[in-house]
Homo-oligomer: A and B are copies of this chain.
Amino acid sequence: MTIKPLADRVLVKIEEVQEKTASGLYIPQTAQEKTQIGTVVAVGEGTEKVKMTVKAGDRVMHDKYSGTSVKADGKEYLILGMSDILAIIE
């Protein structure tokens, strides 16, 4: 199944946060804050008003409460508007 976002929409795969503690152990996600970070999977063509300034593979930061959540092939995605994406993380 391939999801092709339309217009100014961006498909983002929600990141599973894994963070080592000082001793190198992974702490389970429930012990952490819900991430606002994801990886861009596909990008719409943009519109006359909205240019797309992210590309597939970019790690992005987005507002916690924006977008529509989508499940496909057992993984969780978000379909966000371009303007819901706040920053690129490098």
A: residues with CB less than 8 A from B are 1-7, 9, 11, 33, 36, 53-54, 61, 63-64, 68, 70-71, 79, 83, 85-90
- Complex copy number for this chain: 7
Residue of B nearest to A88 (CB): B4
Secondary structure dominating the interface of A:
strand
CB of B9 within 8 A of CB of A87, answer yes
A89-B9 CB under 8 A given contacts A33-B71, A36-B70, A70-B61: no
A3 neighbours in B (Cβ, 8 Å): 61, 87-89
Given contacts A5-B86, A61-B79, 18 further A-B contacts (CB under 8 A): A1-B90, A2-B90, A3-B61, A3-B87, A3-B89, A5-B87, A6-B54, A6-B85, A6-B87, A6-B88, A7-B53, A9-B86, A9-B87, A11-B87, A63-B68, A68-B86, A79-B86, A79-B87
